[in-house]
Amino acid sequence: MLKLFKWILVILMLLILAFAGLVYFGTYQPEALQNEPIVSPSDAPILSAKQKIKVLSWNVQYMAGKNYVFFYDLLDGSGPDERPSRADIDKTTEAVARLIYQENPDIILLQELDEGSKRTDYEDQLQKLLTLLPQEYSSHTSAFYWKVWFVPHPRIMGKGGMKLSVISKYKIQKSVRHQLAQIEQKVWYNWLMKQFNFKRAIQEVSLPLSNGKELLVFNTHLDAFAQGTNTMQRQVAYTKKLLAEKTRQNIPWLIGGDFNLLPPGKSYSLLSPDIQKYYQPVSEISPLFTDYQAVPSAAETEGAEREKWFTHFPNNPKIKQPDRTIDYIFLSKKVKLGNHYIRQQSTLTISDHLPVVVEFELDE
């Protein structure tokens, strides 16, 4: 009897190891730092150190549009929708391309682009978008933060893939992915959850300048469902450390993306109690506002026209218009900030986020 019990125990252990191996190798396991592929033609123009540079940063919500309340859009997970229709994906992709054509930025930072996801018919959304943009947007690079062969969530039940992407009119010479801290839950299945969950990242992209130096462009999308953990503090701390290092090296830089954090000040107190549950009274992003130029600035998000700086229009039937700022572009003090704004006109039906646009010049 004892011998049989030992054999059962061995078989059980082997099954557990086999399952763990299947999960591990079937999900994305990035290095802490890793180089990412670049597409940049040999004849792509070099960014001039003396020109005005325009950047657009936008969470495009995997081209889903605004006709849905997805299950994760409500804090209790009760949203009725699982995926957008094929027609809405195509319509939204065309709208994103049209907006980019109108704004004509030099560099584009995009968050929530799907590639290989069941919910968007396994399409590479970056490649689809590129076919709709002018040929001058020939340089690009991406970094995944979700890639899994099968998600055993009852509202997903299929393959998932989502990435950050930078598109440029100008030469790209390097792309590095920085892994950010993941959500840690105090449950026995924490390891399993982390494998299937998003693996948030910062995408670092280097553009050579005509003076022989470089401009660093960072693209990111911080966590959104980290309530009750210190994940956001850890992700902001890593971001701050990375930017401080580049600042010490005297390299001009900017970072844009969906930070999923309110600006410092009174923004939290102006939200309804059910929305406050997503955030902290003192925003974790405050250190970035203290040390660097921010778009929008703390003053802009506190002023009489604070609504014009809202960047988020949640997929919540109770919310009828943009109601908060959680997307930003931060810039080093080595650049001269010029015209900047949130593109709210003609964008409210495209995504649950609005584009952040800045123009700047390098301070040589």
| Residue range 243-302, pLDDT digits in tens | 999 999 999 999 999 999 999 999 999 999 999 999 999 999 999 999 999 999 999 999
Q: Residue 4 falls within a domain, yes or no?
A: no
Which one has a higher pLDDT value, 188 or 325?
325
**Strands 335-342, 293-295: pairing kind:** unpaired
List the CATH number of the domain containing 336. 3.60.10.10
Q: Residue 208 falls within a domain, yes or no?
A: yes
Q: Residue 24 falls within a domain, yes or no?
A: no
Count, residues in the chain: 364
Contacts with 35 (C-beta within 8 Å, 6 or more apart), sequence order: 174, 175, 176, 177
Say what the pTM is: 0.96
Is the pLDDT confidence value at 146 over 90? yes
Distance of CA 245 to the CA centre of its chain: 22
323 vs 61: CA distance, rounded Å: 17
pLDDT at 192: 83
pLDDT digits (tens, 9 = 90+) for 2-31: 666 676 676 777 776 777 787 788 899 999
Q: Residue 167 falls within a domain, yes or no?
A: yes
pLDDT at 2: 63
C-alpha triplet 102, 314, 308: angle, nearest 5°: 55
Q: Residue 354 falls within a domain, yes or no?
A: yes
Is the pLDDT confidence value at 114 over 90? yes
130 vs 107: CA distance, rounded Å: 13
Q: Which domain holds residue 200?
A: 31-362
Write out the E strands in 84-213.
107-114, 139-151, 158-168, 174-179, 201-208
Q: How many domains does the chain have?
A: 1
Q: Residue 7 falls within a domain, yes or no?
A: no
Phi, psi values for residue 109, rounded to 5°: -110, 120
Q: Residue 329 falls within a domain, yes or no?
A: yes
Cβ(168)–Cβ(133) under 8 Å? no
Weakest mean pLDDT among 199-208, 237-246, 270-279: 270-279
pLDDT digits (tens, 9 = 90+) for 54-66: 999 999 999 999 9
**Tokens 């997503």, residue?**
278
Q: Residue 26 falls within a domain, yes or no?
A: no
